[in-house]
Chains A and B, each alone.
Chain A
Amino acid sequence: MERLVFLLSTGLARGAVLALFALSLVIVYRAARVVNFAQAAMAIVPVYVAFAVTAAGGSPWLGLATALVVGALLGAVVERGLLRLVPQDNPLPGIIVAIGLVMVLQAGLAIAFGPDHRPVHAPFSQRPFDVGGISVLSPYDLFVLIVAAVVMGGLALLFGRTSLGLQLRAAAFAPETSRLLGVRVPRMVTLGWMLSIATAALAALLLVPTGLGLDPHAADVLFVNAFAAAVVGGLDSPVGALVAGLAVGLLVSLVTGYASAAAAPLAVLVLLTAVLLVRPHGLFAAREARTA
Chain B
Amino acid sequence: MSTLTIEKLTVGYGDGAPVLDGLELEVPDGAVVALLGANGAGKTTLLRACTGLVPARGGRVLLGGADLSALSTEDRVRRGLALVPEGRSVVVELTVAENLRLGALWRAGRKHRGPALDAAVAQMYELFEPLARRRDAAGHTLSGGERQMLALARALVSRPDVLLLDEPSLGLAPLVVAQLLGVLRDQAEATGLTVLLAEQNVTGALSVADRGVVLSLGEVVADRPAAELAADPALRHAYLGF
What is A's interface to B at a CB cutoff of 8 Å? 163, 166-167, 169-170, 173-174, 176-185, 286-287, 289-290, 292
Contacts and interface: CB of A to CB of B under 8 A. Distances in A.
Contacts, number: 76
27 contacts: A166-B94, A166-B102, A166-B105, A167-B102, A169-B93, A169-B94, A170-B94, A170-B102, A173-B91, A173-B94, A174-B91, A174-B92, A178-B102, A179-B72, A179-B74, A179-B77, A180-B77, A180-B82, A181-B102, A181-B103, A182-B77, A182-B105, A183-B102, A185-B74, A289-B93, A289-B139, A290-B141
Nearest to B140: A289
Of listed B53, B83, B92, B106, residue having the most chain A CB within 10 A = B92
Nearest to A287: B140
B101 interface: yes
Q: How large is the interface on B (under 10, 10 to 19, 20 to 34, 35 or more residues)?
A: 20 to 34
A177 B91 contact: yes
B225 interface: no
A179 B82 CA distance: 11
Of listed A163, A176, A178, A181, residue having the most chain B CB within 10 A = A181
Interface in B146-167: 154, 158
Nearest to A184: B74
B73 A180 contact: yes
A286 B141 CA distance: 13
Contacts of A182: 74, 77-78, 105-106, 158
Contacts of B236: none
Contact of A173 (B82, B93, B103): B93
Nearest to B82: A180
Contacts of A178: 91, 102
A97 B119 CA distance: 47
Contacts of A287: 140
A289 B92 contact: yes
Contacts of B92: 173-174, 289-290
Interface string B148-191: 00000010001000000000000000000000000000000000
A177 to B, nearest CB: 5
Contacts of A166: 94, 98, 101-102, 105
A126 B146 CA distance: 57
Contacts of A169: 93-94, 98
B144 interface: yes
